[in-house]
Amino acid sequence: MDSLNNIESLLYFIPEILLVVFATAVIILDLIVRDRESDIVAYLALVGLGCALLAILISDSIIGTDKSLFFGMIRLDGFAIFFKILLILATSATILFSLRSEELDVKLKGEYYALLLAVTLGMFLMASSTNLLMIFISLETVSLTSYILAGFLTHSPRSSEAAFKYITFGAVASGTMLFGLSLIFGMTGTGDLAEISTRLPDVLATGQVTALGLLIAITFILAGVGYKIASVPFHMWSPDVYEGAPIPITAFLSVASKAAGFALFLRFFYSGFSQGLLDSVDWGLLLAVVSALTMTVGNLAALPQRNVKRLLAYSSIAHGGYLLMGGVLLTSDGLSAILFYLIVYLFMNLGAFYVVILVANDSGSEMIEGYRGLSSRSPLVAAAMMIFLVSLTGIPPFAGFFGKFFLFKAVIDKGFYWLAFVGLLNSVISLYYYARIIKAMYFESAEDTESFYSTKSTFALLTVFVIPTIFIGLLNIFYSLSGNITLQ
């Protein structure tokens, strides 16, 4: 495939350009608007995301995809389109959550929504990058903006601590990953993933590079990617950051950041290293061990948690482990299972965090105790939360069950029966801590018996997450669509 030059590539880069334009417009509008209580900047950010989504759909249906842009730095294909749409949905939900959150400082709305658009731009590039340099630049773009968003509650010591820990771990992970990337560049003499995939088997066959050297380089790179998806042993930042960040940002990091991390992971290893790795390194076993450790550590650490945000942080780590199951041996079935599970995870996890925001607004508490008697104070909110938690556990007939089913099937088909058993055992463990929240909502009485304050818009947004969580797993069309997405 011929690579387009910089000018020719601009026609296919319109969604990213729109995000830059609207991020700038949000800042300018925030300077003009005198009413600090106004939500107009949030709505402008939503319009920007809508325009970017429209541009993506138009380019996919009219112009076509599968283009190599900017001299091979970026690739526009079905894989990138999938993640861009997913990221737009996650960012839009985060903005809507932010409008209902009482944590955020109204004086800093412009910067906040501009940063959300900026981090979405970085995630777009993470899903599209096919060059080592662009991979690192896009990762740093996402990381730097995420650090600021995590510490956005400047009046909160917890938020400042979250940002400090986030940037500390992030700096170490980025430096480690950069060292691994430099090793790969030195081994192959190129930064292009397609050329790396072609040259690696040759340099391994001639003895210029040893399998051990390649494994060391991959391990360093996994540190950076693993930090982004919060896999063990690069997960230490996640609980503290999730607990200290504003709840909408916690929801955003748990879904959008994880999705972008997996986009980078799949693009990087599937396109650049599958051939060389499978011939020289037992990639399947290495990834299976990381997957098992990630889901086990995440679930066991979640068991004693009383803070719901922190509990869901460990839950997010565990779900990263489930997703890694689909990456074992990098098969097409595993790829489609990961993509489908990310769709499912978007709705059920964001829905759960939306309830966390509603409860925090009502009771001022993020602890499980704040959910006591919720079924009597707000039956619909309690029922929605129960649906999200049951789906996260993986109990049928909800979407989470089908998502895990396809992941388990992918590893069983490749003979990793023990990994499927570990995943099943961890799903049983997760039921315990999810059930504690359900128990508090339905079987414990609250000191405050006042009705839960909700509006029609609150229930409308809640319904947007509940309906897919119930029915999306029954529609095999979504799994079929994800199965049609390939990586080259």
**Which is it for the CA torsion 251, 51, 464, 326, positive or negative?**
negative
Given a cut of 80, is residue 256 above it in pLDDT?
yes
Does the pLDDT at position 365 exceed 80?
Answer: no
Both tokens of 240, joined, read: 């503290």
* Exposure on the CB side of residue 350, measured as CA atoms within 13 A: 35
Choice between 48 and 483, residue whose per-residue pLDDT is larger: 48
User: Given this model, what pLDDT does residue 106 score?
Assistant: 63
Q: Answer positive or negative: Cα dihedral of 72, 77, 79, 83.
A: positive
Mean pLDDT value of segment 20-28: 94
Residue with tokens 């040259």: 199
Q: What's the average model confidence in pLDDT over 384-412?
A: 90
Token output for 201: 């088997």
* 62 membership: H or E segment, kind and range: none
| Paired strand residues for 75 | 68
Pair of tokens at residue 173:
């992970």
What is the token pair recorded at 123? 């995630």
Query: What are the tens digits of pLDDT across the range 139-188?
Result: 999 999 999 888 888 777 888 888 888 888 888 888 999 999 999 999 88
pLDDT digits (tens, 9 = 90+) for 448-463: 666 666 677 788 888 9
Distance CA 327, CA 325 (A): 5
**How many other CB atoms sit within 10 Å of the CB of residue 49?**
22
- For residue 443, what pLDDT band results from cuts at 50, 70 and 90? confident
Q: Return the higher-pLDDT residue of 454 and 82.
A: 82
Q: How far, in Å, CA of 51 to CA of 65, rounded?
A: 18
Report the SS3 class of residue 239. Answer: helix
Closest CA to 320 of 258, 365, 377, 387: 258
Query: At residue 62, does pLDDT exceed 90?
Result: no
For the chain, the helix, strand and coil percentages under 3-state DSSP, each to the nearest 5: 80, 0, 20
For the question of whether the overall pTM of this predicted structure is more than 0.85, the answer is: yes
How far is CA 293 from each of CA 255, 290, 387, rounded to the nearest angstrom? 20, 5, 27
